[in-house]
């Protein structure tokens, strides 16, 4: 815990402020609620009761508009649109009818048709707030941020205290990283409507960004109290709680968010990272696996599951996950080092050589990777290819460095004696252990397993964890039967 001043450090800092996609999801959830309300308020349902001697039955007779509200509430907007258009001919010229029609069209992604319906209304009534609101949402869905801002400003010209327009404008300022402007309009929105979800969540995330965790949690508390079924309030509050080092509270919030929205990828990823933080690797593994089920084509959960597999020495499973990572994201450089090491452990030396070379390109400041590129070639039977790599490396390395000595040992017979003698005078334990791993590997490749294992044991016994040479040394000792873990 001392090395983790805040549990929040386990989260990707980019996720504190919502991605564009997530912001659209949040606003769309609020928008759907309005559509359901509009559709459900047209008339009042009539319930007739039938009685007989043995049972009581209820028949619910819904008007077309109430049927629309019902199908929206159960998540079938296409059915709602179908019912609406069946009843549309009864009063097609009403502005309210056209606005509701545009709302339904927006929920099913028919943007051009929605724009046409809204333009009809706005041509007759340019200040119609409901039409302007739908048009702003349409422009947002279409990715037309400039046009969306214009629509929101038109709303504010008519009604300067319109909390909804202010909150959506704040969302745009967030995506543009204009944080001061976002804060200003979110606060105004809350002043005019203290229950505005978008403003509360947006302002809460701004407070998160500035590490005002208690104040941020209060914003999300309000959303939870007023909208207990809104899953994002819990997932966002989990970050505030993590910032307060309340890992159990953060996990509880994410668990509730998952209960409300079991198909949202990031809730599982974030809870999985928290499980790692509290040493619940099984819970973390299950969450990352569930995230992968939800979106098998996104790389992030594979990275963490691979790390868990690697920690449990499930090498084949870890290799599979890391291979999937670089298949999905070839530019995710951090996957190459562990994958190259595990392929080396598996004896897939040709593949390991390719991966170490790629790692060296990504992290040229560490000469170990180019040396392991040559060692892997050497181990794969391409001794000359390996020696060529060592000789090239020597041209780029200081002759005073141990890495130069290692490259020279592999390419110049007899140099190992000089290097071993030099290491007897080395007082820096981590450096000595690291270099000894390469000496041990050299003797292994020369067939001198007794001497190789002596040095591998010295590396392992130094217990310099976090250094991959330690992991490789322990692996070699397990393969020789000297270690049994």
Q: What are phi and psi of 303, to 5 degrees?
A: -60, -50
Task: Give the pLDDT confidence of 268-305 residue by residue, as tens digits.
Answer: 999 999 999 999 999 999 999 999 999 999 999 999 99
How does residue 322 score in pLDDT terms, banded at 50, 70 and 90? Answer: very high
Q: How many domains does the structure of the chain reveal?
A: 2
Tokens of residue 374, six digits: 């040559």
Mean pLDDT is lowest, of 103-107, 124-128, 171-175, for 103-107
Nearest to 38 by CA among 96, 79, 78: 96
Last residue of a domain, one of 298, 331, 364: 331
**Domain membership flag for residue 70:** no
Residue 50's DSSP bridge partners are: 57
CA angle in degrees (0–180, nearest 5) for 277-282-285: 85
User: Does position 13 have pLDDT exceeding 60, yes or no?
Assistant: no
Q: Are strands 46-51 and 56-61 parallel, antiparallel or unpaired?
A: antiparallel
Nearest to 40 by CA among 85, 9, 72: 72
Residue 51's DSSP bridge partners are: 56
**Confidence (pLDDT) at 219:** 97
User: Does position 353 have pLDDT exceeding 90, yes or no?
Assistant: yes
User: Does position 205 have pLDDT exceeding 80, yes or no?
Assistant: yes
Mean pLDDT is lowest, of 33-37, 191-195, 220-224, for 33-37
Residue 304's domain is classified under what CATH number?
1.25.40.10
Distance CA 405, CA 321 (A): 35
**Confidence (pLDDT) at 110:** 87
**Domain membership flag for residue 386:** no
End-to-end Cα spacing for the chain: 27
**Domain membership flag for residue 337:** no
User: Does position 365 have pLDDT exceeding 50, yes or no?
Assistant: yes
Q: What's the chain's average pLDDT?
A: 85
User: Does position 43 have pLDDT exceeding 80, yes or no?
Assistant: no
Please indicate, yes or no, whether the overall pTM of this predicted structure exceeds 0.75.
Answer: yes
> What's the rounded mean pLDDT across residues 6-28?
51
Radius of gyration of the chain measured on its C-alpha atoms:
31
Mean pLDDT is lowest, of 45-59, 130-144, 222-236, for 45-59
**Domain membership flag for residue 463:** yes
User: What range does the domain containing 443 cover?
Assistant: 413-485
**Domain membership flag for residue 52:** no
**Domain membership flag for residue 430:** yes
Q: Which of 45-49, 107-111, 136-140, 434-438 has the highest mean pLDDT?
A: 434-438
**Domain membership flag for residue 278:** yes
Task: Give the pLDDT confidence of 404-446 residue by residue, as tens digits.
Answer: 999 999 999 999 999 999 999 999 999 999 999 999 999 999 9
Distance CA 75, CA 464 (A): 55
Last residue of a domain, one of 294, 315, 331: 331
User: Does position 335 have pLDDT exceeding 90, yes or no?
Assistant: yes
For residue 274, how far is the Cα from the chain centroid? 13
**Domain membership flag for residue 452:** yes
**Confidence (pLDDT) at 404:** 97
CA angle in degrees (0–180, nearest 5) for 406-412-413: 110
User: Does position 52 have pLDDT exceeding 90, yes or no?
Assistant: no
Q: How far is CA 254 from CA 203, 218, 260, in A?
A: 20, 17, 10
Last residue of a domain, one of 331, 353, 375: 331
Burial class (CB in 10 A: 0-12, 13-18, 19+), 328: middle
How does residue 82 score in pLDDT terms, banded at 50, 70 and 90? Answer: low
């Amino acid at each position: 815990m001392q090395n983790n001043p805040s549990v929040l450090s386990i989260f990707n800092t980019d996720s504190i402020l919502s991605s564009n996609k997530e912001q659209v999801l949040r606003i769309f959830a609020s928008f759907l609620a309005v559509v359901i309300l509009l559709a459900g308020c047209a008339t009042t349902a009539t319930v007739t009761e039938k009685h007989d001697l043995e049972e009581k039955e209820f028949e619910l007779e819904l008007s077309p508009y109430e049927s629309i509200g019902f199908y929206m509430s159960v998540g079938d907007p296409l059915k709602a649109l179908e019912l609406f258009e069946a009843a549309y001919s009864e009063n097609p010229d009403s502005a309210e009818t056209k606005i509701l029609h545009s709302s339904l069209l927006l929920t099913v992604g028919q943007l051009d048709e929605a724009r046409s319906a809204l333009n009809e209304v706005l041509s007759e009534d340019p200040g119609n707030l409901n039409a302007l609101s739908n048009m702003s949402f349409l422009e947002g869905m279409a990715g037309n941020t400039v046009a969306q801002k214009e629509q929101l400003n038109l709303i504010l010209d008519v009604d300067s205290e319109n909390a909804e327009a202010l909150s959506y404008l704040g969302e745009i300022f967030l995506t543009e990283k204009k944080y001061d402007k976002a804060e200003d309009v979110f606060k105004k929105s809350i002043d005019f409507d203290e229950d505005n979800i978008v403003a509360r969540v947006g302002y809460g995330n701004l407070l998160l960004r500035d590490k005002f965790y208690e104040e941020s949690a209060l914003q999300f508390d309000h959303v939870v109290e007023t909208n207990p079924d809104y899953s994002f309030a819990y997932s966002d509050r989990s970050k505030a709680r993590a910032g307060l080092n309340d890992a159990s509270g953060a996990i509880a919030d994410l668990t509730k968010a998952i209960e409300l929205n079991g198909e949202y990828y990031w809730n599982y990823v974030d809870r999985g990272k928290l499980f790692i933080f509290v040493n619940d690797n099984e819970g973390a593994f299950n969450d990352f696996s569930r995230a992968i089920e939800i979106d098998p084509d996104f790389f992030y959960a594979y990275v963490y599951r691979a790390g868990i597999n690697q920690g449990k020495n499930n090498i084949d499973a870890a290799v599979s996950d890391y291979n999937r990572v670089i298949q999905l994201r070839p530019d995710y450089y951090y996957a190459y080092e562990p994958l190259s090491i595990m392929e080396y452990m598996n004896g897939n030396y040709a593949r390991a050589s390719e991966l170490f070379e790629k790692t060296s390109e990504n992290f040229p400041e560490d000469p170990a990777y180019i040396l392991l590129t040559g060692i892997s070639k050497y181990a794969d039977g391409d001794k000359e290819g390996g020696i060529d790599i060592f000789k090239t490396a020597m041209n780029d390395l200081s002759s005073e460095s141990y890495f130069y000595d290692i490259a020279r040992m592999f390419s110049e017979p007899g140099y190992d004696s000089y290097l071993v003698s030099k290491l007897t005078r080395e007082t820096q334990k981590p450096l000595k252990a690291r270099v000894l791993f390469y000496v041990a590997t050299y003797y292994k490749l020369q067939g001198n397993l007794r001497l190789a294992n002596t040095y591998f044991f010295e590396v392992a016994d130094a217990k310099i964890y976090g250094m991959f040479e330690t992991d490789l040394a322990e692996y070699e000792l397990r393969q020789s039967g000297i270690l049994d873990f």
